[in-house]
Amino acid sequence: MCGIVGYFGNKNAVPLLLNGLKRLEYRGYDSAGIAIMHEDSFALTKTAGKVKSLESLLKTAPMQGNIGIGHTRWATHGEPSDLNAHPHTDQTGKFVLIHNGIIENYAVLKEWLAQKGVTFQSDTDTEVLVQLISMIYHEEKISFENAVNLALKQVVGTYGILVMCSDEPNQLIAARLGSPLVLGVGEGEYFLASDASPIVEHTRNVIYLEEGECLIIGDDGYEIKHVDHGEKIEKEISRIDFSIEEIEKGNFPHYMLKEIYEQEKTIVDTMRGRLLLDEGSVHLGGIQDYLLRIERARHFYITACGTSWHAGLIGKYILEEFAGIPVHVEYASEFRYRNPVIDSQSVVIAISQSGETADTLAAITKAKEEGALTLGICNVVGSSISRETDCGIYTHAGPEIGVASTKAFTAQVSVLYMLALYLGRKNGYSKADGVKLAHALHDLGGRVKEILNITDEIRKIAEEMVDVENCLYLGRGTNFPVALEGALKLKEISYIHAEGYPAAEMKHGPIALIDEKMPVIFLAPHDKTYEKVLSNIQEVKARKGKIITVTDKNTPELQALSDHVIEISVSHPRTFPILATIPLQLLAYHLAVLRGCDVDMPRNLAKSVTVE
Ligand code: G6P
């Protein structure tokens, strides 16, 4: 949520910052801006709109300098506009700042500053912070660094900031509390960003700033100190674990399509080295030291947001069945403000692609306070959630850039299947059954490939649906969360209103919406609920709804009832939910493209929600 970049070195900062902002645009894209320090003053360009609008402005009025900061915004306080775009400056014109996060006590600070005669240019909480730094600097007559430090001590909320001061033109200060910041350490140059994706093309050497840390870059190098006590902190340099190719679109028109196609590999990567095919079990190194506590847990909570929450819901069905342990699934935003019954016999599983979602992080903090064991299922290595949890299982899906999550979801579900299989084997799931399931999971890459081959068939279905206004997704058991996820994908990127429901619940409300204009997507594998779902299909047919059925076996009755049948080949009935997700992703993708929507940057959304 909001992307921030910085450069300090001897190259022209402008193209580096613009390129960095393009890499971070998935975090927010309603306005963008950069500020460049040149000699002892800075120049600033900012505008409402995407980074390409900023780029056009810079072509007509170029800027140059070796130190600079850039921002792509997802609005919290104040509508997207030129004035509310970052960077923000103070009223003396000496300070310029970009910010990701929310200053919760901004109203109090703003009033205090206004009483002292400060006039504000924007509606943002960020401007309050830069005006506060300036006020402290001028009133206390202290250094730039000390003024930033004192101001940050007065802030309640979250921030990742980069700030420059024209009195100290060779200094760049950054600080983090609740919003991620990464420092790239190059040869005589430094890169700063909200995540490592803008940095990897320049250097693989990075330092992840931790909560409460402040970084000061100057001509003599960099120093990291703690905001609270000012002590210097020595930090190890880490290596970025992905390559530039992984964050490029390649030959695909959109990141989302690339990532849908990557699932053939990412599901396999997530399970690589973990499936014990001969034993019908699983080895999960990241939770090895906590297995006893996990196996003896009184209950599991799964907490997450968005698509990750849907993965968690599938986890509930399979973990309860395999492990025999009750599982509660909660939106992290609810969990953090409730009083859930948790103690040292609880395991709280946090699922997050980014590992930075503010609510999920807060839910972990709460779980730890109550003494629960916390287990993270994250995609981004070294992310806040992966570091805050006691133990974890990474999904090795590689960087996910498309705002609508695809490959991260199937990787999360794959991890939950592995966890369920491991715990199932401790709970009476037979070796023979374990071997069958482990082999089926191992075989998923090939099955995904077969589904990707029917993308043209799915595009034809999308062509018929292009003008629909509503859509219903129905499934039962583990396919109910798949229905929720299918509906979410559709509404996120094509702006068609869509709902997912347990198929049988249809009769308790959604059936009233069904007419000849309403497409209903059924998930109908031949499992124990098949006959029941078939009845639901008949009920929709009787009301003239359009029926699209995703199944593991096309039968004459499905053929007769459905307008379209999407048949997918499944080697084990348990893997149907993972595989059935893919045609739904493709359907949403093709519909969004046909409707002319911006697939990778859907309106109002952001990939990484680092504010509450
Ligand atoms: C945002 C994204 C979703 C994602 C959700 C949770 O809403 O647009 O794609 O599922 O956040 O993100 P996380 O990184 O915690 O999985």
Q: What is the CATH number of the domain that holds 458?
A: 3.40.50.10490
Six token digits for residue 389: 């949890």
Please check whether residue 188 lies inside any domain of the structure. Answer: yes
User: In this predicted structure, what is the pLDDT of residue 278?
Assistant: 97
**Active-site option among 225, 407, 546, 607:** 607
User: In this predicted structure, what is the pLDDT of residue 609?
Assistant: 80
Assess whether 212 and 306 both reside in one domain.
Answer: no
pLDDT at 611 over 80: no
pLDDT at 567 over 80: yes
User: What is each CA distance from 12 to 7, 63, 66, 352, in whole angstroms?
Assistant: 9, 9, 5, 36
User: In this predicted structure, what is the pLDDT of residue 88?
Assistant: 97
Please check whether residue 416 lies inside any domain of the structure. Answer: yes
3-state helix, strand, coil in the chain (%, to 5): 40, 20, 35
Long-range contacts: 448-452, Cβ < 8 Å, 24+? 448/263, 448/264, 448/267, 448/579, 448/582, 449/264, 450/568, 450/569, 451/568, 451/579, 451/582, 451/583, 452/260, 452/261, 452/264, 452/582, 452/586
pLDDT at 608 over 80: no
Which range is least confidently modeled, 231-245, 262-276, 463-477?
231-245
Q: Are 207 and 237 in contact (CB under 8 A)?
A: yes
- For ligand 1, atom 4, which residue shows the shortest CA distance? 306
- For ligand 1, atom 2, which residue shows the shortest CA distance? 607
**Band of pLDDT at residue 491, cut at 50, 70 and 90:** very high
Exposure class string for 135-153: b at 16+ Cβ within 10 A, else e = bbbeeeeeebbebbbbbbe
Q: Is 305 near ligand 1, meaning CB less than 6 Å away? A: yes
Domain of 157, in residue numbers = 3-240
- For ligand 1, atom 8, which residue shows the shortest CA distance? 607
CA of 544 to the centre of ligand 1 (A): 35
Q: What angle do CA 476, 355, 149 make, to 5 degrees?
A: 150
Q: Is 3 near ligand 1, meaning CB less than 6 Å away? A: no
pLDDT at 526 over 90: yes
Q: Is 360 near ligand 1, meaning CB less than 6 Å away? A: yes
Q: Is 28 near ligand 1, meaning CB less than 6 Å away? A: no
Assess whether 236 and 253 both reside in one domain.
Answer: no
Mean pLDDT computed over 69-81: 89
Six token digits for residue 233: 């902190």
Dist CA 325 CA 422 (whole Å): 13
Q: Is 134 near ligand 1, meaning CB less than 6 Å away? A: no
Please check whether residue 612 lies inside any domain of the structure. Answer: no
Beta-strand (E) ranges in 449-488?
A: 470-475
Atom number in ligand 1 closest to CA 305: 6
Assess whether 272 and 223 both reside in one domain.
Answer: no
Please check whether residue 434 lies inside any domain of the structure. Answer: no
pLDDT digits (tens, 9 = 90+) for 340-378: 899 999 999 999 999 999 999 999 999 999 999 999 999
Mean pLDDT computed over 212-235: 96
Assess whether 253 and 160 both reside in one domain.
Answer: no
187, 221, 240 — which closes off a domain? 240
Residue 214 falls in the annotated catalytic set = no
- For ligand 1, atom 1, which residue shows the shortest CA distance? 607
Please check whether residue 181 lies inside any domain of the structure. Answer: yes
**Active-site option among 2, 214, 391, 597:** 2
Assess whether 30 and 175 both reside in one domain.
Answer: yes
Assess whether 299 and 411 both reside in one domain.
Answer: yes
What is the best residue among 25, 307, 356, 610 to mutate for testing ligand 1's pocket, by most ligand atoms within 8 Å of CB?
307
Mean pLDDT computed over 162-182: 96
Residue 2 falls in the annotated catalytic set = yes
Assess whether 425 and 456 both reside in one domain.
Answer: no
What is the best residue among 260, 333, 357, 383 to mutate for testing ligand 1's pocket, by most ligand atoms within 8 Å of CB?
357
**Band of pLDDT at residue 396, cut at 50, 70 and 90:** very high
Assess whether 357 and 465 both reside in one domain.
Answer: no
208, 240, 272 — which closes off a domain? 240
205, 240, 275 — which closes off a domain? 240
| Strands 564-567 vs 546-551: parallel, antiparallel or unpaired | parallel
User: In this predicted structure, what is the pLDDT of residue 246?
Assistant: 87
Q: Is 307 near ligand 1, meaning CB less than 6 Å away? A: yes
Assess whether 260 and 315 both reside in one domain.
Answer: yes
Six token digits for residue 565: 């049948």
pLDDT at 46 over 80: yes
User: In this predicted structure, what is the pLDDT of residue 269?
Assistant: 96
Assess whether 199 and 115 both reside in one domain.
Answer: yes
- For ligand 1, atom 15, which residue shows the shortest CA distance? 352
Task: Give percent of the chain above pLDDT 90.
Answer: 90
Please check whether residue 265 lies inside any domain of the structure. Answer: yes
CA of 503 to the centre of ligand 1 (A): 25
Element counts in the chain: helices (H) and strands (E): 19, 26
Exposure class string for 485-503: b at 16+ Cβ within 10 A, else e = bbbbbbbbbbbbebbbbbb
pLDDT digits (tens, 9 = 90+) for 19-40: 999 999 988 889 999 999 988 8
CA of 351 to the centre of ligand 1 (A): 10
Question: Tokens 């199937």, residue?
Answer: 410
Domains of the chain: total: 3
Assess whether 348 and 480 both reside in one domain.
Answer: no
Assess whether 89 and 42 both reside in one domain.
Answer: yes
Dist CA 464 CA 261 (whole Å): 23
Q: Is 180 near ligand 1, meaning CB less than 6 Å away? A: no
Q: Which amino acid is at 188?
A: G
CATH at 137: 3.60.20.10
Q: Is 607 near ligand 1, meaning CB less than 6 Å away? A: yes
How high is the mean pLDDT of the chain? Answer: 95
Please check whether residue 25 lies inside any domain of the structure. Answer: yes
**Band of pLDDT at residue 178, cut at 50, 70 and 90:** confident
DSSP bridge partners of 134 = none
- For ligand 1, atom 7, which residue shows the shortest CA distance? 306
pLDDT at 316 over 80: yes
Please check whether residue 216 lies inside any domain of the structure. Answer: yes
User: In this predicted structure, what is the pLDDT of residue 129?
Assistant: 97
